[in-house]
Amino acid sequence: MKMISVGKIFMVLLFFSTTAMAQNFQETPNGLKTTIHSVDVEVQFYTPTTVRIIKSPEGREFVKNSLSVIEEPQNLKLSVKQTGQLAQVKSDQMEVSINLETGKISFFDLSGRSLLQEKEKGVSFVDFKDVEEETLRVKQAYVLEKDEAIYGLGILQNGKMSQRNQTKYLIQGNTEDVIPFFQSVKGYGLFWDNYSPTTFADNEQETSFESEVGDGIDYYFMYGKNADGVVACMRNLTGQAPMFPLWTYGFWQSRERYKSQDELLGVVKKFRELNVPIDGIIQDWQYWGSNYLWNAMEFLNPGFPNPQKMVNDAHDMNVHMIISIWSSFGPKTKQYQELEEIDALLDFTTWPQSGIQGWPPNMDYPSGVRVYDAYHPAARDIYWKYLKEGLFSLGIDGWWMDSTEPDHLDIQPEDYDNMTHMGSFRKVRNAYPLMTVGGVYDHQRAVSSDKRVFILTRSAFAGQQRYGANTWTGDVVASWEALRNQIPAGLNFSLTGIPHWNTDIGGFFLWEFKNPLDNPDYRELHARWMQFGTFSPMMRSHGEGYPREIYQFGKKGDPIYDAIEKYIHLRYSLLPYIYSTSWDITANQSSMIRALVMDFADDTMALDINDQFMFGKSLLVCPVTESMYTIDGKADFSQTKSRELYLPKGANWVDFWTGEKLDGGQTIRKETPLDIIPLYVKEGSILPIGPQVQYATEKPWDHLELKVYDGADGSFLLYEDEFDNYNYESGAYSEIPISWNNAARKLTIGARKGSFKGMLKSRKFTITLIDGTTKTVDYNGKKVVVKL
């Protein structure tokens, strides 16, 4: 018998052990696959900064075509190796490791810094029967650092900036638009790609997503290094944001509702008579007539006898018009009949419940209105067919897509058993807005490139930025608390990668105010909300019950009227800045409304501020969100009040109104008379100021003021195109780079790049410094250096 030494035995065992462990995973072109504790796992790099993680019970096929993700995995150079019990996949930007014994996945930057880790034993699959399909309830838990701020989850009305320490049921609603995505101050983001109702939970033990339906776990980790980088990753993954027309950035007026075409046109005429700028008017519901004809997409209401003339007259007054369309149809509409024939109507209670107008609904006469199956391609074709024939053919400029979540009333558990074209309503519930909004965008783009698609929608889901949509925060009840909540709601929405959103200026419902138009507290609230709206991606006044046009709040000389008019004019003066910022969104994946973490991530004082933000990269906006001038039910302007605010460190600041220079990194108080919103400009900024106009394109930008906020070097890129078509996608646009050298006191207006039809060949720029120094120069497209 041959003897083998203990050392040799150890070496043999080690060889077989490491060989067996090496066989625990399989390399793939984009990462690796393995099975651990009866769970199939795949690590799949899409880009050097974005990796998809897929998990399912062993042997259970899991194939999914994402509704949100449109990116395909790239051919990448990856390093795959094993170190002990860890299998590691590395790109040139980040590393993913999986513990081959426990299945735990961890994410690192290239220096080895931990970004995010799954929780040990943090995966859960529970068998679930969804109607007739055997499926799963799925959960994945992670471990975050104790004080790590995270942002996102969509539009929520919780008033929170950082979304830590809460449990939130994510399901689409009127005033909350849910997106199972968050990003961290550490520079990474996580998208949980699931469309069923999902619970997000964050506590001391774990941070998790748990979805009611899922054939497997499917999530994307992205490392952008900072908030802008994460947004860029998310847009690369789910789609880029196209340009909006210039006119969408002007002022918009609407009401629930204009009851005739004469009433609607009368509002536009009144604005023009008052010389108050306006670019858009919106027709809300019931222009179709009765509830049995709900969303017929035709003017069947006698108050609109000549809709073509109405649209033409609005256009003749240089106003654009958008109109309300819904996700549901009355039983007497043509759409309903066609959709019913292909079994593309869902069976649950929606708005309106009664066929008779009025509140409360008279259920002796049920409306029969049903939501259409937006997941069905043929249903989306039918939707567009009637939209095109009934409204697009009239020259309507855009779509107010209401109830895109959609409205779901008197919810019953069996409602989610409705079968859509893509499975149960339960399985795909949260993606409904993406499908219905996308259907309109895709169809309009297919038939016209002359007019950019513009959609105002009440709900959204991941990827919706690619569909030319601006989401409003729903039918919020007017209150000071509601105004405060809209700020972090919109900021967190922007941080999910969707840059365009707005609110009903003044709040939709006025339940908390008696005689609101004469109520000093509401009038003050409306003025402050208008100031906030000035620095939102869309400035739109709207509400039910009481009209909100400027002249409802008095006349010139009245404090509320004057404050509203001042900010409408301010909005128009900033259009060159706003439009150039919108190009930065499209071309460079930037954001218009910027949470402070985007520009001041190193300032811990700024990370959880929920009532301040950057508008573009130059303006710090600090809305007033509490009543100051209503005392004992009466307006009292005898004393000037103030609000406390924080100036982030990492920059110095200039008071927009006074020119006072202030150091960053300090808390100050700013006096806030009714017509002042605290507004600060970052030193080094260059603000292009446009002409005084009554509508966005009234005057060419042939003489712009360039306000230079000296104190630091800075730059700005002035962008122009034809303002309302898609020729920019083929290169029909121009860029003028402008830079300020603070030490040399020189402003350089660089050579213009690009061209487009109708482009100004020459123009004037008036350069203005904070101290009032001005100089006017001619510019013909060639580089100009100005010494100041």
User: Which of 463, 597, 596 minimizes the C-alpha distance to 188?
Assistant: 597
User: For residue 509, which amino acid is it?
Assistant: F
In a 13 Å sphere around the CA of 2, the CA atoms on its Cβ side amount to 3
CA dist list (Å): 420 to 167, 383, 404, 429:
29, 16, 16, 10
Cis before 48? omega within 30: no
User: Which of 83, 52, 391 minimizes the C-alpha distance to 217?
Assistant: 52
Q: Under a CB-based contact definition with an 8 Å cutoff, are residues 750 and 760 in contact? A: no
Q: Under a CB-based contact definition with an 8 Å cutoff, are residues 701 and 761 in contact? A: no
What are the residue ranges of helices labelled H in 287-342?
307-316, 334-341
What token pair was written down for 718? 């002035």
In a 13 Å sphere around the CA of 244, the CA atoms on its Cβ side amount to 28
Residue 584 DSSP class: H
User: Which of 89, 93, 84 minimizes the C-alpha distance to 111?
Assistant: 93
User: Which of 659, 660, 586, 657 minimizes the C-alpha distance to 621?
Assistant: 657
Active site members: 402, 405, 475
Residue 9 DSSP class: H
Q: What is d(CA 491, CA 494) in angstroms, rounded to the nearest whole number?
A: 5
Q: What is d(CA 349, CA 27) in angstroms, rounded to the nearest whole number?
A: 50
User: For residue 584, which amino acid is it?
Assistant: D
Give the chain's length: 788
- The C-alpha torsion from 306 through 309 and 315 to 316, rounded to 10°, is -140
Q: What is d(CA 115, CA 187) in angstroms, rounded to the nearest whole number?
A: 8
* Beta-bridge mates of residue 540: 252
Q: What is d(CA 615, CA 623) in angstroms, rounded to the nearest whole number?
A: 12
Q: Is 402 exposed, middle or buried (0-12, 13-18, 19+ CB in 10 A)?
A: buried
What token pair was written down for 284? 């809300």
**DSSP-assigned letters across all residues of 361-384:** --TTSB---EEB-TT-HHHHHHHH
Contacts of 223 (CB under 8 A, 6+ apart): 49, 50, 93, 94, 107, 109, 115, 187, 188, 229, 230, 233
In a 13 Å sphere around the CA of 385, the CA atoms on its Cβ side amount to 11
Q: What is d(CA 648, CA 778) in angstroms, rounded to the nearest whole number?
A: 37
Q: What is d(CA 357, CA 342) in angstroms, rounded to the nearest whole number?
A: 29
CA dist list (Å): 269 to 21, 274, 282, 283, 580:
78, 9, 14, 15, 30
> Crossing angle of helices 559-573/575-588, nearest 10°?
50
In a 13 Å sphere around the CA of 638, the CA atoms on its Cβ side amount to 4
Q: Under a CB-based contact definition with an 8 Å cutoff, are residues 367 and 419 in contact? A: no
CA dist list (Å): 198 to 167, 209, 273, 375:
11, 7, 51, 19
Q: Under a CB-based contact definition with an 8 Å cutoff, are residues 762 and 778 in contact? A: yes
